[in-house]
Every structure is written in structure tokens, then in C-alpha cells.
Amino acid sequence: MIECQGQLYSYILSLTGNSDIARDLLQETNKTILEKVADYTPGSSFSAWASKIAFFKVLSFRRDSQRESTLFSVEKLREISEKTLSKNHDYDRRLDSLFHCLEQLPDDKQKLLKQR
């Protein structure tokens, strides 16, 4: 859960466009994640599961705030969500590849990179 906090915050911020609201919704998302952790299927993507929870928190916020003018329609919000999740998946895949490559380096080179 800790590892995906930055990604979740960025995701929520992309859907709300407001850093204060995004921080509040991240807190709510984290609370729900902890409450529903038994529903998570081990071996599946934790960040995708957490992002779904965040998406529904954003939708609930929009419904509860009942603003006259919202930043995005629900349809546009879904589109932004899909694009952001796709980019997050690509980022995760590239990060995994990078770690795999780093493991192939000799120990002294790995140590040098870690020190840097």
C-alpha cells in the first residue's frame, strides 16, 4: 500500500484537478483499502485494485459535493481514468524491467548505483 501512494495520489489528482481534494480523497481511499483488504486477491495487481477504490471515492465526492459546475463529466472522468491507469501500468512494467536489468549488474556496480 505504501509503495503505490504516489501513484494513487497522481491518479486522484488527474481526476479532480485539485491537490487539496486529492489529498483528502487519498486519505479516504487508504481508509477503505484497509477496511477491504480481505477482498483483495493476492497475485492480482494491487495498484489496479486500489485505483478502482480511488475512482469510486472520486465519484462519491462528486455526487456528495453537488456542484453546479464540475470540472469533468462522468464520461470524461472515466476516459481520463482509463488513460491514467494505462500509463501507470506501462510505468510499472518499465520499472520492473529496470530492476531486472539492475540485478544483472555486477555487485560492485549495483553498490555504486545504490550509493548514488
At 72, is the pLDDT very low, low, confident or very high (cuts 50, 70, 90)?
Answer: low
82: helix, coil or strand?
Answer: helix
pLDDT digits (tens, 9 = 90+) for 79-99: 888 887 777 777 777 878 888
pLDDT of residue 68: 47
Least confident of 14-18, 55-59, 96-100: 96-100
H or E segment and range at residue 78: helix 74-104
Q: Cite the beta strand spans of 1-116 per DSSP E.
A: none
CB-side neighbour CA atoms (13 Å) of 55: 18
Q: Give dist(CA 77, CA 11) in Å, integer.
A: 11
The domains of the chain are located at 2-115
Is the overall model pTM greater than 0.95, yes or no?
Answer: no
64-103 burial: b if 16+ Cβ within 10 Å, else e = eeeeeeeeeeeeebeebbeebbeebeeeeeeeeeeeeeee
At 23, is the pLDDT very low, low, confident or very high (cuts 50, 70, 90)?
Answer: very high
Cell representation of residue 46: 494491487
Mean pLDDT value across residues 18-27: 95
Q: Give dist(CA 3, CA 23) in Å, integer.
A: 16
